[in-house]
Structure 1
């Protein structure tokens, strides 16, 4: 039986870019998703290499019925974020070029690249960019979703470093979006995800590739109170040392340590070894540590999360309140014990992370033209929370999802009881049941709707392209 989507792509001369379920490359691309639960088995994958290829694909699919999804690096963890079953997946995985213009001090990066490759390509030029902290994370989703990096205190979110987006619109036009050309689209793409077109090139402002100092420290669970105080103090003091970054993580990972530990990552992006802001943190006892001077590429590769497993993530934000962090630690202890009663103790991993989100991060964003994330409306220093669970089977994934959802609700209720909740969600961490756009604020949602109506009047990227989060149709 004829298939309208496949026929349209072949008719457009795109046969050489198509791979089917019987092809080896199809199998390879499906296996290359970071989370095993994200790959959905489309009826075909189309693999463009250039913006012109993407334009022809979009024009062909616009003419016929049928749904499509867009994938760049494929690191988003929930089913439906970047793949489709009964439809076409536009896989940007062949678009991995990275070039550097020393005159403009801009790095031009195609969307299918991953951050480890980007750092390696830019290092010989003595520059780097505000990209992902995990080498395996893809460029496209990270940047259009916001992009929290080790450099956020210096230059804002990753999206704020985008000087220009090259975008294929719903009608197939290839346009630029920057501060002077389509500036409304430029702002909307900084946090607006895949709702306006397909970004085929990011031109990013660069910074000198100074060696970093830092890495991971693992402390016993008994050091919890000291570490909680350290992240609260760091968040309040971060603006004095914007070049530094800090993350804490209550984690159960039996392949490393059989008990719950608290891992922390501290980084000085200017390479200073003994920054005063880390003085008290370094006094906390450790089980082991991996702290040294290294490149951004090295640290990103050192902390790559394992791929090919089933992932569940939830995220929330809170005021910088140590009691909320302690409560999360207690709930995490309970979670691990509950999971041990339901799953083999060696078959799951959990993480309960807190990252500083001080108000000055948003100031950096505004200085560079602003974005649509809505962080500039959050009046208090905050903490970004991420809860993750990793398992091997679909059956265990359902158990993990139920337990993590209950954990998130309990922690949110506790924070609300103390007046410490913040209704802001980071889109790159959200579960499919959470809608980040609803947390961006009414003005930003209205702006996103207007930009969508202007550049995609038929709503192709709202309706035909089904992956990822969509702009809310009604005011939240």
Structure 2
């Protein structure tokens, strides 16, 4: 995998050539021009605004990048001005929303310009209360805090610290996914700044091909400045966490697989299964995140989980969405991080093998200070595709699935940079072994969830040949000079897919 990833990165580097007909300026010149045009919205190193932006990244690796300057737009016109200036000067740039991608260079940049969207975080509701207009720089906690007093909700993120823009452009899971599809499927309009600075509204009637491509297509087509999401009446739900010793592993896996098989019978039900090791406590624990998106306690779909003994902690209660997203907030885990992900069939033996493989690669690191080694498993029931199709479809390729799937995330956090190389290698080795096992067992699935993916994973190829071709066509149509392939190096690029 690493060899293939290196090849993709090399090909991507060859694509970073100047747009034809435009002379490349030094990044400092672009920053000077931006400072003249946008004045106090441009920040240089060692200034408070610059430092605030860099501290806004979740993973510490990104905070050590060194953009030449940072633009903090307050409106769409500012974004358009920045894009025009950067393209005219052929200066590289990045786009930062919530800054939650767990590796440097995705939304951060060195020797380039960082566009920080976090000031564009407004949340408004239309007159008939059916659409919430959300700035691309908002985080989900703010969204819910604005909507809850109005007794409204959108299908959004489950971690309060995650940004709106990145989650939607990667597809996005919510507490409403089984019923409503991915978070991106709930979008009815996207305000987008194209590579030439033009501002367009992208929806099912206007640019319908691009609308589908943006729902999971990452940062390949422009800068999204606002998302309009379907809003619906909502007040409270039932949910929380149950924590167990890892002696319950087999029962947990069996209950999860059965839940996934029956998810189509109850579209309100959600489940995430975690296996967690913390080097500080030396404890291996299992916990279930259970969230039922209406205020009904102990619905029957959770009966098998309810029967698992030895519950050490139980936080189940009825409350607002913001309460449950705060419970899952990753803000306290801001450290050195890596995510890696894979998808396979809903199969007990494959699930158990993934746990065993992961634990075997953990063993050499049990004493590493500050290490938290987590496995996350969540259902992808086939019924999600029906909800996505009902909302016009997306570019993710999930609709290829006729079987229920399991989404696996390997999530490591640690403190010492000296452990970076060894832990990255162990993580990728873990994933490679799980992938080989899934192929061997006939349970493999090509889908790679962008928002959980590692830097060197081939995310877009996992969407399928048909969707890759669609994305290439969209890039050629809406960004013919390849600005978002050549000047925006962060993220997963459709031009890199061979």
Q: CA deviation at 1:308?
A: 3.0
CA contact (8 A) 2:338 2:413 kept: yes
- Indicate the residue corresponding to 1:403 in structure 2: 426
The alignment partner of 2:366 has SS state of helix
Which one of 55, 60, 67 corresponds to residue 36 of structure 1?
60
CA contact (8 A) 2:136 2:227 kept: yes
* Aligned equivalents of 2:27, 2:231: Cα separation in 1: 48
Q: CA deviation at 1:406?
A: 1.0
Q: TM-score, normalised by structure 1?
A: 0.96
- Indicate the residue corresponding to 1:211 in structure 2: 236
The alignment partner of 1:224 has SS state of helix
- Indicate the residue corresponding to 1:25 in structure 2: 49
- Indicate the residue corresponding to 1:103 in structure 2: 128
The alignment partner of 2:283 has SS state of coil
Which one of 308, 316, 329 corresponds to residue 284 of structure 1?
308
Q: CA deviation at 1:185?
A: 1.3
Which one of 449, 458, 464 corresponds to residue 426 of structure 1?
449
Which one of 56, 79, 82 corresponds to residue 107 of structure 2?
82
Query: What is the root-mean-square deviation in Å for CA atoms of aligned residues?
Result: 1.4
CA contact (8 A) 1:105 1:205 kept: yes
CA contact (8 A) 1:210 1:269 kept: no
Which one of 217, 221, 242 corresponds to residue 196 of structure 1?
221
- Indicate the residue corresponding to 2:90 in structure 1: 65
CA contact (8 A) 1:143 1:190 kept: yes
- How big is each residue's C-alpha offset from its partner over 1:145-164, in whole Å with a ceiling of 9 and x where there is no partner? 10011110110000000000
The alignment partner of 1:63 has SS state of helix
- Indicate the residue corresponding to 2:386 in structure 1: 363
The alignment partner of 2:125 has SS state of strand
Alignment of 1:209-288 (within 5 A): 209-254=234-279, 258-285=282-309, 286-288=311-313
CA contact (8 A) 2:190 2:228 kept: yes
Q: Structure 2: which 5+ runs fail to align?
A: 1-25
* Aligned equivalents of 1:71, 1:251: Cα separation in 2: 29
- The question of 1:48 aligning with 2:73 is answered yes
* Aligned equivalents of 1:104, 1:179: Cα separation in 2: 20
* Aligned equivalents of 1:92, 1:307: Cα separation in 2: 22
* Aligned equivalents of 2:389, 2:59: Cα separation in 1: 34
* Aligned equivalents of 2:496, 2:278: Cα separation in 1: 41
The alignment partner of 1:175 has SS state of strand
- How big is each residue's C-alpha offset from its partner over 1:183-223, in whole Å with a ceiling of 9 and x where there is no partner? 11111110011111111110000122231111111111110
- Indicate the residue corresponding to 2:320 in structure 1: 295
CA contact (8 A) 1:8 1:64 kept: no
Give aligned pairs, total.
470
Q: CA deviation at 1:245?
A: 0.3
- Indicate the residue corresponding to 1:439 in structure 2: 462
- The question of 1:454 aligning with 2:480 is answered no
- Indicate the residue corresponding to 2:198 in structure 1: 173
* Aligned equivalents of 2:154, 2:278: Cα separation in 1: 31
- Indicate the residue corresponding to 1:9 in structure 2: 34
Alignment of 1:103-182 (within 5 A): 103=128, 105-182=130-207
* Aligned equivalents of 1:210, 1:385: Cα separation in 2: 31
Residues 307/225 of structure 1: CA separation in 2 closer, same or farther (3 Å cut): closer
Q: Structure 1: which 5+ runs fail to align?
A: none
Q: CA deviation at 1:403?
A: 1.0
